Amino acid sequence: MNRLLRCFFLLCCCMIVSGFLWAQDGRLLQTPFTPPFSKGSIQSYFESITQKTGISISYSTAVLNGQQKVKMHGDEHSVSDVLKTIIGKQPLKIVERADKILIVPIDAPDEGSTGSVSQFFPTDGYIKDKNTKEALIGASIYFPALSAGTVTNSFGFYSITLPRGIYKAYVSYVGYRTDTVVFNVNDHRRVDMLLQQDGSRLREVKVSAHRSNENNGDYIQLSMRDIARYQSLLGETDVMRALQMYPGVQSGIDGTTGIQVRGGDPGQNLNLLDGVPLYYVDHLFGVTSVYNSDAIKSVDFYKGAFPARYGGRISSIVDVHTKDGDMQTTGGQFTMGLVKASLMLEGPILKDRCSYMVSARRTWIDGLFAPFYSQVGVNFYDINAKVNYILNDDNHIYLSFYNGRDQIRYSEDDAFFRTRWGNTIASAKWNSILNPKFFLNTIFTYSQFSYELKDQNQVIDSGIISNLSNYVGVSSIKDISLQLQGQWFPNYRHKVEFGGNYARTYFVPTEIQSTDSKVIVPPTKGSGTMLSNELTVYAEDEIKISKKFSTRLGLHWANWYSGQYDYSSLQPRVYFSYDVNSESSLYASFSHMAQFLHLINNNTYGLPTDFWVPSTKIIKPEEAYQGTLGYNTTIAGVHANVEVYYKDMLNVITYTAGKTLFDNSDNWQQKVEQGKGWAYGAELSLEKRIGPVSASLAYTLAWNWRQFDDLNNGDPFPYRYDRRHNIKIAGTYRIKKGMRFTANWMFMSGEAFTLPDQVYPDFDNNLLITQGNASSTSYTYHYSKWNAYRLPAVHRLDIGMDFVKKKKNNLERTWSVGIFNVYARKNVMFVTLTNDLEKGNLQLQGLSYLQFIPYVTYKLKF
């Protein structure tokens, strides 16, 4: 890791030095230039200079008419000569600033002047959806004349400080028509903008000067339109499934919604819902995630180049923002699929002042099976609710709530068994614009995940209860936090973010509560409630050093403490971007991340046998050091990104072989082990749109290793999901208005698993001891190496058709039909060894499901 860090910083220093060298004043004006024509418009001369020298010239149309014809004297041999001829006797002056030349009024003071009147003025406001007044996150506003711009924050707010003048700006957002707005900058202005949705396009390229905010290998922003492109199993539209279509992201078991990012496991992903952490993100064994697509506005996903404001997990950030609610009209959406039904309602409480959004889902398929098999019940529900209240122009309040539950129930005669698990979260946010350059967000959050298992056995003999056991086991994690997030926009070259967070977390890893009053010998006590405090502070500056070169430098400090331990972690986060030209950029990043919580994961279904445990005196926080290097470009209309990464992980955690964690024990720390991990690889993504057809390709070549002292004799071994090749191809064809065809093909190399290499006769049998009815053919498996074998590769094709029809009264209904795994590939989920008595040998068998599953869903928007 140290070598990687040194190399990275050396590279960055070179980039910084070259950027600053480029920024020296005076050099641009002296650049040799001979005009290719003696007479022409001012604008044509400026374009010629830019074309031949690469120097950008900016001016305000208020002070210079670009169409005015000028004539050269014939003795101009430098840029300065030409410009002096152009401005002639006009009251203008030529200013060289960083990497460009400005033509400004002669009495305009220099930037940063301490004169009594500043010539730079802030402009701030919100960018929202024209119809619903929903704030747009990450919308871009760009001033080409200044090569400057900014993007809206998580609440749709932007702020930018510009020199006096009149400028044209492009305001853009994916899925919306780009707007052109003229700014007359001569004072502080509050400019709120409304963008119109563009239903004809699936994807637009955002016009932005901030490369760090554009989708690249490390950062992806998804809108609902992006998520809807990837309908898959049972017609579910799901955030996590959409993320699985990007390079560097893979599922665990095929068909489930869990994600593994660049060699990390699911417990290393920070899943946020409106800024509140979620501790469990699967419903129904991973068929769908807890994120209700009907309630989602946008998703920010980071797998590298982590901004300093994020912390607490080491592999990825999934930051999901829900809708605020339509400020204008009441409406909603009803969706019915094969497994569940969903209803979303939104609308104004006070028009243009206060709105609400409520969305709920529940399975209905358990009701279908109930008449035939009432002993078993499996279902889930969840509900999202949000209220958005605008106190005044500078103050906004948001209240969010989520509650979801999964349940498995089994009853038979006098026995009853039930297990249920789920999240409950709530948050209250207060946005405040303290001044045009300063935005403050205060958040209070509550998050709880709990798992309960109830087992009752009642024996009734001659009408008398002769034996009764009532077993209840629980596992839970609950945290309460207060966060302050500040954003300061001193000028258009800097965007400073800083803040802090205090969280108090209560863990109950395992606890069994037996309510059997007849028990003389009670079970031993559980793990008890563990309390931990977390304090974080961060600061970050996003700097546009020059026209081509920008950087984001940040520091995140976290401290976890209780009566028994005190851990601190100082985490630098750096990101550099260099614009090779208007279509291409080179970028690099380094991040140090740490996490105090650990998920002991069963790596299989979305089952609640995963446990969150804290760091303790014995269990240290996990850490990761990740470096990335990437290149973005657009060639012949193809958006391409290629990136390489290396990630070092320390103190990764796993079960010690064969043990289960959920039990009545306060020794859970002895059942886990910490070790090392490292992952590296290359990612490629391509995207192209031609008319009604769009296609994308994501390819990942990756290696993923683990090492634990007590496993595999201490030797490194491949991580279970060390899939060498990962390919996803997605295509969409808009056949005609209201009809769309999608096809997704994916390929994943087989996962690694441990197979015994020998069997030998059973030990107890050879002591002539039998275990009940155990067969004398019992044998013992012998393992030499961990994860030395591979399951067969997984691949499948999913297709779908959407039929959209707009009806009267603003109704829009959509029928979606499709097939998951069209060619019925038997993708093996896991393997077993069975004793083939006929052949007299052990047979390796793979179990697969999810072959050729048709689906149909109905959606009604109103």
**Closer residue to another protein (CB): 803 or 830:** 830
Shortest Å distance, C-beta 281 to another protein: 19
Type of residue found at 631: Y
Shortest Å distance, C-beta 655 to another protein: 6
Shortest Å distance, C-beta 236 to another protein: 14
**Closer residue to another protein (CB): 408 or 503:** 408
Within 8 A by CB and 6+ apart from 789, the residues are 752, 753, 754, 755
Shortest Å distance, C-beta 779 to another protein: 7
For residues 188 and 169, what is the distance between their CA atoms, to the nearest angstrom? 17
**Closer residue to another protein (CB): 20 or 783:** 783
- Which of 645, 598, 588 shows the shortest CA–CA distance to 619? 598
**Closer residue to another protein (CB): 180 or 373:** 373
For residues 155 and 576, what is the distance between their CA atoms, to the nearest angstrom? 25
**Closer residue to another protein (CB): 81 or 366:** 366
Task: Write out the DSSP string of 115-139.
Answer: SSS-SEEEEEEEEEETTT-PBPTT-
Question: 22 near 16, Cβ under 8 Å?
Answer: no
Shortest Å distance, C-beta 453 to another protein: 6
**Closer residue to another protein (CB): 12 or 828:** 828
DSSP, res 108: P
**Closer residue to another protein (CB): 518 or 736:** 518
Enclosing H/E stretch for 80: helix 79-87
What SS3 state is found at 822?
coil
Question: 627 near 589, Cβ under 8 Å?
Answer: yes
Shortest Å distance, C-beta 259 to another protein: 19
Shortest Å distance, C-beta 350 to another protein: 45
Question: 127 near 141, Cβ under 8 Å?
Answer: yes
Taking the CA atoms of residue 31, residue 36, residue 38 and residue 43 in that order, the dihedral angle to the nearest 10 degrees is -70
Question: 294 near 386, Cβ under 8 Å?
Answer: no
Shortest Å distance, C-beta 354 to another protein: 42
**Closer residue to another protein (CB): 193 or 512:** 512
Question: 204 near 221, Cβ under 8 Å?
Answer: no
Shortest Å distance, C-beta 849 to another protein: 4
For residues 546 and 18, what is the distance between their CA atoms, to the nearest angstrom? 10
For residues 332 and 862, what is the distance between their CA atoms, to the nearest angstrom? 5
Q: What angle do CA 811, 814, 818 make, to 5 degrees?
A: 175
| Structure tokens that stand for 549 in this block | 């070169």
Shortest Å distance, C-beta 246 to another protein: 27
Q: Quick one: 671 exposed, middle or buried, by C-beta within 10 A (0-12, 13-18, 19+)?
A: middle
Shortest Å distance, C-beta 705 to another protein: 18
For residues 491 and 496, what is the distance between their CA atoms, to the nearest angstrom? 10
For residues 631 and 585, what is the distance between their CA atoms, to the nearest angstrom? 6
**Closer residue to another protein (CB): 3 or 518:** 518
- Which of 502, 392, 496, 488 shows the shortest CA–CA distance to 440? 488
**Closer residue to another protein (CB): 7 or 774:** 774
For residues 649 and 627, what is the distance between their CA atoms, to the nearest angstrom? 12
Shortest Å distance, C-beta 291 to another protein: 21
Shortest Å distance, C-beta 616 to another protein: 16
Q: How many CB atoms lie within 10 A of CB 676?
A: 15
**Which residues is 726 bridged to in the sheet?**
700, 748
**Which residues is 390 bridged to in the sheet?**
396
**Closer residue to another protein (CB): 197 or 407:** 407
**Closer residue to another protein (CB): 637 or 840:** 840
Within 8 A by CB and 6+ apart from 573, the residues are 305, 306, 307, 308, 540, 552, 553, 554, 555, 556, 589, 590, 591, 592
Q: Quick one: 127 exposed, middle or buried, by C-beta within 10 A (0-12, 13-18, 19+)?
A: buried
| Structure tokens that stand for 739 in this block | 């009809």
Shortest Å distance, C-beta 716 to another protein: 16
Q: What angle do CA 109, 111, 117 make, to 5 degrees?
A: 55
**Closer residue to another protein (CB): 350 or 657:** 657
Question: 311 near 481, Cβ under 8 Å?
Answer: no
**Closer residue to another protein (CB): 788 or 817:** 788
For residues 624 and 267, what is the distance between their CA atoms, to the nearest angstrom? 13
**Closer residue to another protein (CB): 394 or 673:** 673
Shortest Å distance, C-beta 369 to another protein: 6
Shortest Å distance, C-beta 563 to another protein: 22
DSSP, res 85: H
Shortest Å distance, C-beta 743 to another protein: 21
Q: How many CB atoms lie within 10 A of CB 470?
A: 15
**Closer residue to another protein (CB): 373 or 690:** 373
For residues 67 and 86, what is the distance between their CA atoms, to the nearest angstrom? 12
Shortest Å distance, C-beta 768 to another protein: 4
Question: 390 near 396, Cβ under 8 Å?
Answer: yes
Q: What angle do CA 108, 109, 110 make, to 5 degrees?
A: 120
C-alpha 50: how far from chain center? 39
**Closer residue to another protein (CB): 574 or 850:** 850
**Closer residue to another protein (CB): 473 or 554:** 473
For residues 249 and 240, what is the distance between their CA atoms, to the nearest angstrom? 10
Kindly provide the residue ranges of all beta strands, DSSP E only, lying in 7-91, ordered along the sequence: 39-41, 56-59, 69-71
